[in-house]
Amino acid sequence: METKRLTIDDIARELNISKTTVSRAISGKGRIGQETRDKVLRYIKENNYKPSAIAKGLAQSRTFNICFVMPGDYSIVDLPFYQGFLWGISNTASKADYDVIISMVTEKDISQLVRLIENQKVDGIILGRTLEEDKAEEYLLSKEIPFVTAGSSKDASVIQVDNDHRSACRELTLVLLRKKMKKMALVGGNMGYIVNQNRLAGYREAYLEFGAAIDSSLVYLNLVNENDVDKVVDELIEKDVDCIVCMDDYICGCVLGKLRKEHVRIPEDIKVASFYNSILLENSQSVITSLQFNVTEMAAVCCNTLLSQIDKKEVPGKTLLGYEVIIRESTQA
Amino acid sequence: METKRLTIDDIARELNISKTTVSRAISGKGRIGQETRDKVLRYIKENNYKPSAIAKGLAQSRTFNICFVMPGDYSIVDLPFYQGFLWGISNTASKADYDVIISMVTEKDISQLVRLIENQKVDGIILGRTLEEDKAEEYLLSKEIPFVTAGSSKDASVIQVDNDHRSACRELTLVLLRKKMKKMALVGGNMGYIVNQNRLAGYREAYLEFGAAIDSSLVYLNLVNENDVDKVVDELIEKDVDCIVCMDDYICGCVLGKLRKEHVRIPEDIKVASFYNSILLENSQSVITSLQFNVTEMAAVCCNTLLSQIDKKEVPGKTLLGYEVIIRESTQA
DNA sequence: CTGAAAGCGCTTACAG
DNA sequence: CTGAAAGCGCTTACAG
């Protein structure tokens, strides 16, 4: 039995005070007598009054919505990362009485995002990935609207939050080199993603630090789909490598599938490690040595940074979060 | 260089007409001279005017947002279904100039959803799953707000869109029975989910139709996590079943993992089928016989049904979508 | 076909 | 400490 929704006017009339006063009692802004405030607050509780977010929004030129931009590319949309991230943002935003609107974009089509901004439906944006050539980022910069990237950007004027992929990859690679891997292969996806560039950088640093040289004929980048990976794995078996390092969980899943098909045993025949861990690897025949990041934490930090920015507070230009190196069965000697 | 945002007032002043007229030219409602309309439309194009969705919303008591409710339970949040579904909704909503806000709820805590509704941030809701005892559903019914469920509900007054899981499961089960499975086990999760009840119903129907009796000692339901499944699989190996039917992709993933650990070969030693297919099974040693549903289509139908309902149009009480039975290696004789 | 005016439900200088 | 009034940027009866 939904009765007519209460407005601030109703309350003012009922209590014989002005709506200005009611508004102040609710928002806590401006001077107001303790008694009056209590009276209003009590009435509100009793009658279950909830202010209209939209009216409040119009008056304050705010929406109390933030946008989470995630890739709509079909192959990527299934990655568990974004879902966990979404969960983290949603919970954090909720606490600040903000809601999150999602927007799907591809590398070449950001029209959904543009529409959202032009319609002024959000106060700020979280970019769920960063690309070398990032249309979304460019667009947002040109609009001068608050946004933060989940992932690094080369543009120092962009507020960014990222896991320290470079250090993490360096560390894991070093561990592998010290385990006396002689013929290690690196297999990765789209190098247009900044995160992959950082992973490669970390890999290189490890070799440098270890004093070994990378065999560039064992580095396969920009693999797009399972087919690509299958072919590469065939070659790697041929070349008799002792370890395959995968740049992310999707690639690693493909590698594992292919190795299984070829009846290659892990870790006996070939060892495997991944620069990113997720549920995609959960089901693998051997538990995979990998890097572990805290997606929920990262989401929370992104969200809070954005909300601060919306409130015109000072925010750090770049926040780097930690990681864990997890050594497991798949790289055992 | 973002200049002051244009408003309907600016346009009216500039063109020496009233804002009423401008509004009409834009919305296309009400009589208006072709010439005037063209003049306005041209001006709008040239100056890239975009109406404020929030002001429009306040005037029309609408938000142009719909909400997608997804489970925030940690174990479930990773299911690919919701992500694909989200993608479908987002695209469909976008076409109608609607945006989608997400809300995470658990079986016992729907506070995020309640807040969203009370703040009046959305015009309608899509419920991403249905439970036997569904707090979200109850709440929405009590609020008399437009909503549709993605999944079946026992309450006939609820607008629902679902895949025909019952028929699908019946059909797949029949196929298996005809393949002369003698000792078939059924393994499933939370029976509080309506979808699981329908799956079980379909399974039963198939036995009835085939004229065989279900061995209830081979039916394991309400399994919650991987541990539960592992134990069950141990028993099933002990009992020497010839086929394991999994109610969903998550359960099936667990079953496959356990069988692999025990070095049970598929399909030679035990056959496996799943009532739901997803990327979670992609990586399995044998391609799994399963049911296939079109998540994107379902999302689109849900979304369009909801939008019609919001516009006070007549909508079907229940829409049932199709499925495909895919027979693959995992059940080969 | 077009416009003046009231209204959507809040907030916020400005006065007092 | 409190209120009258204008304003946020649209829409929509009601007149003409």
Reference B181, options B289, B294, B292; nearest CA is: B289
A78-112 tens-digit pLDDT: 567 888 898 899 999 999 999 999 999 999 999 99
CB of B285 within 7 Å of some strand D atom: no
Q: Which residue type does A218 have?
A: L
Q: What is the pLDDT of residue B285?
A: 60
- Residue at minimal CA–C1' distance from D8? A59
CATH number at residue A209: 3.40.50.2300
Contact A272, A254 (CB under 8 A): no
Residues of B in contact with A83 (CB under 8 A): 77-78, 82-83
Residues of A in contact with B119 (CB under 8 A): 50-53, 64, 97, 99
Q: Check whether residue A159 and residue A218 sit in a common domain.
A: no
Q: Check whether residue A173 and residue A99 sit in a common domain.
A: no
Please give the distance of CA A301 from its chain centroid, rounded to a whole number.
Answer: 10
Give the C-alpha separation, A69 to B114, whole Å.
24
CA-to-CA dists, residue B181 to A111, B243, B303, angstroms? 52, 7, 41
Within-domain flag for A115: yes
Q: What is the pLDDT of residue B257?
A: 84
CATH number at residue B14: 1.10.260.40
Contact B88, B297 (CB under 8 A): yes
Within-domain flag for B3: no
Within-domain flag for B2: no
**pLDDT confidence bin for A284, thresholds 50/70/90:** low
Q: Check whether residue B100 and residue B158 sit in a common domain.
A: yes
Q: What is the pLDDT of residue B145?
A: 93
Report chain D positions within 7 A of protein CB atoms: 1-5, 7-13
Identify nearest nucleotide to residue A21 by CA to C1′ distance. D2
Total structural domains within chain B: 3
Within-domain flag for B27: yes
Indicate whether A164 pLDDT > 90.
yes
Phi, then psi, of B178 in degrees rounded to 5: -70, -20
Q: Check whether residue B183 and residue B148 sit in a common domain.
A: no
Give the C-alpha separation, B1 to A312, whole Å.
19
Q: Check whether residue A101 and residue A245 sit in a common domain.
A: no
Report chain C positions within 7 A of protein CB atoms: 1-5, 7-13
CB of A47 within 7 Å of some strand C atom: no
For B275, the domain range is 165-293+326-331
Q: Check whether residue A277 and residue A191 sit in a common domain.
A: yes
| Residue where one domain finishes, among candidates B43, B60, B77 | B60
Q: Check whether residue A115 and residue A170 sit in a common domain.
A: no
CA of B332 to C1' of C9 (A): 65
Q: Residue A306: CB partners within 8 Å, gap ≥ 6?
A: A66, A124, A125, A126, A146, A147, A148, A159
Reference B174, options B277, B265, B289, B37; nearest CA is: B289
CB of A32 within 7 Å of some strand C atom: no
| Residue where one domain finishes, among candidates A44, A60, A76 | A60
- Residue at minimal CA–C1' distance from C8? B59
Residues A139-155, mean pLDDT to the nearest whole number: 95
What is the edge-to-edge ordering of all strands in the sheet holding B219-220?
B219-220, B184-187, B243-246, B271-274, B289-292, B324-326
Q: Check whether residue A140 and residue A207 sit in a common domain.
A: no
Q: Check whether residue B280 and residue B240 sit in a common domain.
A: yes
Helices and strands, number each (H, E), in chain B = 12, 12
Q: Check whether residue A179 and residue A129 sit in a common domain.
A: no
Residues A310-324, mean pLDDT to the nearest whole number: 95
Q: Check whether residue A250 and residue A209 sit in a common domain.
A: yes
Residue-by-residue pLDDT tens, chain B, 333 positions: 345 678 998 898 888 898 899 999 988 887 788 888 888 899 999 998 999 999 999 999 899 999 999 988 766 655 678 888 988 999 999 999 999 999 999 999 999 999 999 999 999 999 999 999 999 999 999 998 999 999 999 999 999 999 999 999 999 999 999 999 999 999 999 999 999 999 999 999 999 999 999 999 999 999 988 889 999 999 999 999 999 999 999 899 889 989 988 989 999 999 999 999 987 777 666 689 999 999 999 999 999 999 999 999 999 999 999 999 999 999 987
Question: How is residue A245 written in tokens?
Answer: 């390092």
Q: Which residue type does A143 have?
A: K
Residues of A in contact with B64 (CB under 8 A): 119, 121
Q: Residue B256: CB partners within 8 Å, gap ≥ 6?
A: A283, B266, B272, B281, B284, B285, B288
pTM: 0.90
Reference B275, options B291, B293, B257; nearest CA is: B291
Within-domain flag for A243: yes
CA-to-CA dists, residue A105 to A69, A216, B243, angstroms? 7, 34, 43
**pLDDT confidence bin for A123, thresholds 50/70/90:** very high
Within-domain flag for B284: yes
Q: Check whether residue A188 and residue A282 sit in a common domain.
A: yes
CA distance A149 to chain B (A): 20
Give the C-alpha separation, A93 to A1, whole Å.
30
Reference B201, options B242, B180, B173; nearest CA is: B173
Q: Residue A61: CB partners within 8 Å, gap ≥ 6?
A: none
Within-domain flag for A3: no
